[in-house]
Structure 1
Amino acid sequence: MNAPLPPAGPRAPLAGLTRGLARVTGSSLGRYQTAVVRIGISFTWLFFLLREWPNRHEMYGPESPWSWEMARRLTADNHAFTALIWSDSNLWFETVYAFSIVSSLLLMLGWRTRTMAVLSMIGVLSLQNRSVFLGDGGDNVIHLMALYTVLTRCGLVWSLDARRAARRGGEPGRDLTGIVLWALCGAALVLAQSAGQPRPAWTADGPLPGIGWATVLWGLWFVQGLWWLVCRYASGEPRTVLDVFAHLLHNAALLVIMVEVCLIYATAGWYKIQGSRWQDGTALYYPLHLDYFSPWPELSHALAANGLVVLLLTYGTVAVQVAFPFTLLNRRVKNVLLAVMMIEHLGIALVLGLPFFSLAMIVADAVFLPTGFLRRLGSLVGRTREKVLPARREAVPAQREGEADTRTLVG
């Protein structure tokens, strides 16, 4: 006899909701995706800063057409954070610029990821908010991702933190380096607030209404210390509670990143639909004839001379951007369209000469890449690295290398 079917009722949906809640509170989802965002955004910002090194004074420094006094007045109105308005000296500007380069490099490598995410965010905001009229759209993506990365556990894989934690077998250890770095960050905050700045607007205004940047930074500093104390001296129930909050915050930030990418494409696509040049299929023709967007004039003119190619690329761009949020309902269609969009951004980088915009968007798109594909890509990169740079392999206990949780003070 066949076994009787279970009675229908609300238990099945309730069980699914319970499993989903347990997964969201019990693990950090999208570890590989957030690691790609961390590495990609840091690399893009670092590459940009290094390329613009000869032009840094004209872009963000004392020789900028957007003067220091104009930047101060603007930030006083829009409450944007930038450390460059604390002083108009050239030495302070050079310090902030070098600080941004170093913090981006260390974040890309995954060294003390939690701290470097905050420091890199400070560098991004300080430079971008100093001269808000610079950029090509990619700066907005870097700006947003720098904020969201602070809330993610983006160093769980593909980072020096993960390697260090794996070698320790997940034990926190004393971590003298983390303690010193945490103390230095606290001392820097004290110095920034007590330096006698005549316009300490950053202490009153912040990312949320009524919460200043000083409160946010001190809160992050306090949480880092609390995390280390709990991991070292109270690893039972208090550690479990902190883990739940960390998982929730990470997963919420990951969801916000995904929603942000969808909004970028949806708004861009729907605004294009309303433009007459996009409706008649000639929008791409015009930037191809602008010298500023023609690093390869022969290639640009060849494309613009073919009316069918211009028509297909114009309509294809709109169709892809409008359709992308809806393709998330089907994994296979989403993966195909994701590849098309990345190829499109590579074309924009090559034809229109917008490498940083394209790279920033490709990194943002990578948050939707399948985990299996990212794991295979990581394995391929690891094998290639071992062939090029052979090194002694070290034993990794219990947990797989690269997936151990980071339990250091500022890791």
Structure 2
Amino acid sequence: MNRFTLTVSAAIARVTESALGPYQSAMIRIGFSGTWLLFLLREFIHRGELYGPDGPWGFDLARQLVDSNGAFTLLLWSDGRVWFEAVYALALLASAALLVGWRTRTMSVLFMVGVLSLQNRSVFMGDGGDNVLHLMAVYLVFTRCGRVWSLDARRERRAAEARARGERVTDRVGPVLWVVLGAALVALTGTGGLDGDPTVPVLLWLVWASLGVWWAVGRWARSDQPRILLDVIGNILHNGALVVIMAEACLIYATAGWYKIQGSRWQDGTAAYYPLQLDYFSPWPFLGDLLTSSGTMVMLVTYGTVIAQVAFPFTLFNRRVKNVLLAVMMLEHAAIAVILGLPFFSLAMIAADAVFLPTPFLRRLGRWTARARVLVFARDGGRGAAATVPEQRSPQSPRPTHVGFEA
């Protein structure tokens, strides 16, 4: 009984005292924000046809659908071109800011708003990758995804160094951003821009209020207890969101694999042949012809896809097998991006897979990236090549002080 109690106590302490998977959460932040940003940039010249007033899915049709399903979108507040361009610009800027990790807590919310607003405006424009991005944008709001590999982490590190030197650190950008976003929430709520299903508006108000409380406690609390309590709440939400993200990825692969098993073409090993013969999925016809020229290759790809998807959730119980299968699935998605011409679907799935990547590999990846950056941007080639880059480690215990609107 004592042993069980100690085990439970250790598990509770681990969940509440630290935000687990800091490198994995940073990877999904970078992966999904980068995928959405690249998509918005590629479709910039077609934005009006996809999500705006120039598209076949008109404003009235979109409003009727949203009224029936309660989906959230800011684009139905007005059908004007200026408002559409403003929302599209918001989606672009929020994606870029989240990618580099600037004010990640706030930007994750704006990123979610941008994704939901555009996708729910024209729901028939999306594919499987958009559905994954749609879900993950909501989950990212609850994660502390800026603990490493972000401008927020650098800002926090510099602030800690300044406090160690006895300097006073003041955050001016955070309060200004909080006031501006609060005014925008008041304006949209008062004019009906957030009407419909109250789930997302309530979430926006809760996050806005919590950021204000976090800043106020970090600035004026006389003891460490309120700060520790806020850290515990943030860690629980973060760790719970990571579990949901992992469960969602497993569910996607499991359902896809079991549905494939029921198809006759997947059973006879020929399913991979047919999409490669469609012009819509053949940006490089010679690659498709090369793959389909061998019946054995088609059979291996077909059966291998089904086996990998069905088996993936079960491989999580064995680290080595999981890592091997994870690498295979990422390579498969990369091949889909090139051969079938589905780059954003593949990027979204790779970003979802990144939550399972082992921490030692991600830390090495971070060191390699930092060294490559030094080599590229150093003015003195010799000194740059010899430069050493300190590793950015994630905090494993709650920090007693906060300087602003936390990552």
Q: How does the TM-score come out when normalised to structure 1?
A: 0.91
Shift of 1:304: 1.6
Shift of 1:135: 2.0
Equivalent pair of 1:163/1:401 in contact (CA under 8 Å)? no
Q: What amino acid maps onto 2:259 in structure 1? A: Y
Q: What amino acid maps onto 1:281 in structure 2? A: G
Instruction: State the identity %.
Output: 59
Q: Distance in 2 between matches of 1:320 and 1:407?
A: 46
For residue 143 of structure 2, give the secondary structure of its aligned residue in structure 1. Answer: coil
Aligned pairs for 1:224-303 (under 5 A) are 224-234=211-221, 235-303=223-291
Aligned to 2:319: 331
Q: Distance in 2 between matches of 1:339 and 1:204?
A: 42
Aligned to 1:382: 370
Indicate how the Cα distance of structure 1 residues 383 and 11 shifts in structure 2: closer, same or farther if over 3 A, else same.
Answer: same
Q: What amino acid maps onto 1:107 in structure 2? A: L
Q: What amino acid maps onto 1:221 in structure 2? A: W
Q: Distance in 2 between matches of 1:357 and 1:135?
A: 10
Shift of 1:14: 2.0
Shift of 1:285: 0.9
Aligned to 1:5: none
Q: Work out which of the residue numbers 101, 107, 112 in structure 2 matches 1:110.
A: 101
* 1:120 maps to 2:107: no
- Aligned residue pairs total 388
Shift of 1:402: 5.7
Aligned to 2:175: 179
Q: What amino acid maps onto 2:322 in structure 1? A: K
Aligned to 1:154: 145
Which consecutive residues of structure 2, in runs of 5 or more, have no partner in the other structure? 385-389
Q: What amino acid maps onto 1:390 in structure 2? A: A
For residue 377 of structure 1, give the secondary structure of its aligned residue in structure 2. Answer: helix
Equivalent pair of 2:171/2:403 in contact (CA under 8 Å)? no
Q: Work out which of the residue numbers 7, 12, 26 in structure 2 matches 1:21.
A: 12
Q: Distance in 2 between matches of 1:90 and 1:80?
A: 21
After alignment, is 12-21 or 353-362 more displaced? 12-21
Q: Work out which of the residue numbers 303, 312, 320 in structure 1 matches 2:300.
A: 312
Q: What amino acid maps onto 1:188 in structure 2? A: A
* 1:367 maps to 2:355: yes
Q: Distance in 2 between matches of 1:214 and 1:265?
A: 31
TM-superposition CA deviations, 1:223-282 (whole Å, max 9, x none)? 000001111111511111111111100000000000000000000000000011111111
For residue 168 of structure 1, give the secondary structure of its aligned residue in structure 2. Answer: helix
Aligned pairs for 1:86-105 (under 5 A) are 86-105=77-96
Shift of 1:403: 3.2
Q: Work out which of the residue numbers 184, 190, 193 in structure 1 matches 2:186.
A: 190
Shift of 1:215: 2.0
Q: Work out which of the residue numbers 71, 78, 81 in structure 1 matches 2:72.
A: 81
* Structure 1 runs (4+) greater than 4 angstroms displaced: 399-402, 404-407
Aligned to 1:345: 333
TM-superposition CA deviations, 1:314-371 (whole Å, max 9, x none)? 0000000000000000000000000000000011111100000001100100100000
After alignment, is 298-307 or 89-98 more displaced? 298-307
Q: How does the TM-score come out when normalised to structure 2?
A: 0.92
TM-superposition CA deviations, 1:20-65 (whole Å, max 9, x none)? 1110011000000000000110000000000001111110011111
Indicate how the Cα distance of structure 1 residues 260 and 136 shifts in structure 2: closer, same or farther if over 3 A, else same.
Answer: same
Q: What amino acid maps onto 2:154 in structure 1? A: R
TM-superposition CA deviations, 1:372-399 (whole Å, max 9, x none)? 1000000110011011112899xxxxx9
Q: Distance in 2 between matches of 1:238 and 1:145?
A: 30
TM-superposition CA deviations, 1:83-128 (whole Å, max 9, x none)? 0001101111111111110110001010011000001110000000
Q: Distance in 2 between matches of 1:149 and 1:127?
A: 17
Equivalent pair of 1:81/1:126 in contact (CA under 8 Å)? yes
Q: Distance in 1 between matches of 2:46 and 2:230?
A: 45
Aligned pairs for 1:19-58 (under 5 A) are 19-58=10-49
Equivalent pair of 2:26/2:148 in contact (CA under 8 Å)? yes
Per residue, is there more helix in 1 or in 2? 2
Q: Distance in 2 between matches of 1:389 and 1:239?
A: 39
Q: Distance in 1 between matches of 2:198 and 2:283?
A: 40
Aligned to 1:165: 156
Q: Work out which of the residue numbers 111, 123, 138 in structure 1 matches 2:129.
A: 138
Aligned to 1:11: 2
Equivalent pair of 2:159/2:403 in contact (CA under 8 Å)? no
Q: What amino acid maps onto 1:361 in structure 2? A: M
Aligned to 1:221: 208
